[in-house]
Amino acid sequence: MQFFIKTLVGSLATILLATNVAQAAAPCAIPTRPAESSFMFYVPDVPIRNQLATEEVLSDPENVFFLQGQILGNDCNPITGAEVEIWYAGTPDSAGNYYLQDYRGRQRVDECGSYKFTQSFPVQFVGSPHVHVRVSKNNTELIVTKVYFEESLAVYFVPDPSIVSQVTNEADGSRSAVFNIYLDMSGTETLGCGKFS
């Protein structure tokens, strides 16, 4: 009987250990899907700033759109020292005015891997409205992707769920969306950092 109890306890301990190891090894989220084309409309060395679009456009709260989130590793810890670049079609014409500096910017994330851009909402250009996002660190590209917005998806278009965000209507008429980017690499454990949701 004593042998049976020892064997049972040993087996339970092995199962618990295996479960803990599996949970520790499992990613905290599905990695963000890269874009099909890494450098579509990409322009290097854009200005460092967190406000895009013209002052005239942003003077109307209904034109203001906040895109924010965190750059996170597969352990849900922030990728500190990362740089986020975005660009998007800002005017409803045939070219989308992708190459205007007004609709491009970059910034370095804070110690929690967070970024936030104040911009206008992207116009529809070649499908559903979207924003291109490039993340790099120490001049090494980590990912180039896009974020689409659930409320603005074309009927025929079903993108990967990891690159779709919901838009929130704010009380002042502006809009916002959270886009967390999960990379297949370890982050840096940082105390006091929550996660956008």
- Which among 52, 65, 40 is positioned nearest to 145, based on CA atoms? 40
- pTM (whole model) above 0.85: no
Euclidean distance between CA atoms 64 and 51, whole angstroms:
10
Identify the pLDDT of residue 96: 54
Rounded to whole angstroms, the maximal C-alpha distance in the chain is: 82
- The Cα-based distances of 59 to 6, 49, 89, 149 in angstroms read 72, 18, 19, 23
Euclidean distance between CA atoms 10 and 31, whole angstroms:
36
Query: Could you read off the pLDDT tens digit of each residue along the chain, which spans 197 residues?
Result: 454 444 433 443 433 333 333 334 456 778 899 986 666 788 889 999 999 998 999 999 999 999 999 999 999 999 999 999 999 988 765 455 666 788 999 999 999 999 999 999 998 776 789 999 999 999 999 999 999 999 888 777 778 899 999 999 999 999 999 999 999 999 998 887 866 65
Identify the pLDDT of residue 178: 97
Q: Which domains, ranges and CATH numbers included, belong to the chain?
A: 28-182 (2.60.130.10)
Identify the pLDDT of residue 27: 63
